[in-house]
C-alpha cells in the first residue's frame, strides 16, 4: 500500500457514509408510502366504507363492503386450497426429499415461486374461467393458492429440518411409527414456525392484484355465490386509482390503508412469533 494512512481511512469513511446513505435512501420510500397511505386513507375510512356498496359512477359516497368481504373470501379459499397440499409437500421434502424426485420437486417449487403472478392468472383463466364460462371467486382463490403453494412448501420443509434430531430418534426409539412421529412430534414442534410462514404467505396474496384481474374479475355488487365474479380490495384500488374521479381516489386510499394495515400486522406478528434471525 503506497497510500498514506490518512487517505486510506478517508476512503474507509467515505464508503461507510455511502452505505449509510444507501440504507437511508432505501428506507425513505417505505416511510413515504406509509405516510401517504395513512394521511390520505384516514379521510376515506368511515362507517359507510365498511358497510356500503360502491356508489354508482359519478356519485359521491358509498363504500367497499363487497370488496372487503370478497378479499376475505378469496384469501380464505386460497388458504383452503393452498395450505394443506403445501404442508404435505413440505413434509415429503423434509422426510423423503433426498431423492431425485425430491430434488425435482424442490426445483419446481423454486421455479413456481419465481413465476410472475400475472401468468398464473393467464393459466387459471385458460383452465377454469374458459371452461366454466365465467369469472368466479373459485378461479381467483385457485390462482392465489398457486402463488402460496411454493412458499408454504419450502417453509414447512425448512422448519421440519430444524427440529432437533433427538426428538425424532426418541420417538422412533419408543416404537412410534414414522408417520405418527412426523405428524404428532415433528410437525407439532415446528408449528409456530410453519404458522409464521403461512402468515407471511397470506400477507403476500392479500395484496395480489394481477392474477385476480381475469380470474375473480370485479363486481360492483354483492356476489351471491363463490361461483360469480367477486370484488376484491386490490382490484378495487387499481380501478379507482386510474379513474378520473376525486371521490374514487379517496376510496382507493382508504382501501390501501386497510390493505397496508392488514399486511403490516401480519408481518409484525410473524416477526414477534419467531425470534429475529439477524
Partner 1 sequence: MTALSTELHPPSEGPLVSTRAPSQVNWGDRVFKVTTAGFAVLIIVTIVAMVLQMSVSAKLSLREFGWGFLTSTDWNPVIGSFGALPFIYGTVVSSLLALAIAVPVSIGVALYLSEMAPEAVRGPLAFSVELLAAVPSVVYGLWGIFALAPLMRDHVEPALRAVFGFLPFFQGPNQGFGLLTGSVVLAIMITPTITSVSREVFRAIPRTFREAALALGATRWESIRTGVLPIARPGLVGAAILGLGRALGETMAVTMLIGNRPEISASLFAPSYTMASVIANEFTEATEDLYLAALAEIGLLLFAVTILLNLVARLLVWRVSASPGGRS
User: Which residue, 125 or 138, is less far from partner 1 as judged by CB?
Assistant: 125
User: Which residue, 115 or 162, is less far from partner 1 as judged by CB?
Assistant: 115
Minimum gap (Å) between residue 69 Cβ and partner 1? 18
User: Which residue, 203 or 226, is less far from partner 1 as judged by CB?
Assistant: 203
End-to-end CA distance of the chain: 35
Beta partners for residue 161, in sequence order:
none
Mapping DSSP onto H, E and C, the string for 130-190 reads HHHCCCCHHHHHHHHHHHHHHHHHHHHHHHHHHCCHHHHHHHHHCCCCHHHHHHHHHHHHH
Q: Say if residue 48 is exposed, middle or buried (CB neighbours under 10 Å; 0-12, 13-18, 19+).
A: middle
Minimum gap (Å) between residue 233 Cβ and partner 1? 9
Minimum gap (Å) between residue 166 Cβ and partner 1? 9
Minimum gap (Å) between residue 145 Cβ and partner 1? 10
User: Which residue, 60 or 268, is less far from partner 1 as judged by CB?
Assistant: 268
CA-based nearest residue to 129, from 238, 230, 237, 204 = 230
User: Which residue, 209 or 227, is less far from partner 1 as judged by CB?
Assistant: 209
Minimum gap (Å) between residue 228 Cβ and partner 1? 16
**Is 117 in contact with 208 (CB distance < 8 Å)?**
yes
Amino acid at each position: 500500500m503506497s497510500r498514506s494512512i490518512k487517505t486510506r481511512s478517508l476512503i474507509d469513511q467515505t464508503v461507510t457514509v455511502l452505505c449509510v446513505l444507501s440504507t437511508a435512501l432505501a428506507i425513505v420510500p417505505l416511510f413515504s408510502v406509509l405516510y401517504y397511505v395513512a394521511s390520505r386513507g384516514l379521510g376515506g375510512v368511515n362507517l359507510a366504507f365498511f358497510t356500503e356498496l360502491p356508489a354508482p359512477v359519478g356519485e359521491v359516497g358509498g363504500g367497499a363492503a363487497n370488496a372487503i368481504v370478497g378479499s376475505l373470501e378469496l384469501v380464505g379459499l386460497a388458504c383452503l386450497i393452498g395450505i394443506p397440499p403445501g404442508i404435505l409437500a413440505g413434509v415429503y421434502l423434509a422426510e423423503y426429499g433426498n431423492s431425485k424426485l425430491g430434488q425435482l420437486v424442490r426445483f419446481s417449487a423454486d421455479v413456481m415461486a419465481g413465476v410472475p403472478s400475472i401468468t398464473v392468472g393467464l393459466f387459471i383463466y385458460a383452465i377454469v374461467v374458459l371452461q366454466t364460462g365465467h369469472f368466479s371467486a373459485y378461479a381467483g382463490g385457485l390462482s392465489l393458492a398457486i402463488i402460496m403453494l411454493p412458499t408454504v412448501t419450502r417453509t414447512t420443509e425448512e422448519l421440519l429440518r430444524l427440529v432437533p434430531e433427538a426428538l425424532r430418534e426418541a420417538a422412533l426409539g419408543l416404537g412410534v411409527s414414522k408417520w405418527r412421529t412426523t405428524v404428532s412430534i415433528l410437525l407439532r414442534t415446528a408449528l409456530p414456525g410453519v404458522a409464521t410462514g403461512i402468515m407471511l404467505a397470506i400477507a403476500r396474496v392479500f395484496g395480489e392484484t394481477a392474477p385476480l384481474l381475469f380470474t375473480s374479475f370485479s363486481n360492483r355488487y354483492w356476489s351471491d355465490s363463490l361461483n360469480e365474479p367477486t370484488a376484491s380490495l386490490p382490484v378495487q384500488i387499481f380501478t379507482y386509482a386510474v379513474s378520473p374521479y376525486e371521490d374514487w381516489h379517496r376510496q382507493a386510499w382508504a382501501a390501501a390503508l386497510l390493505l397496508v394495515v392488514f399486511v403490516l400486522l401480519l408481518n409484525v406478528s410473524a416477526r414477534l412469533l419467531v425470534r429475529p434471525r439477524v
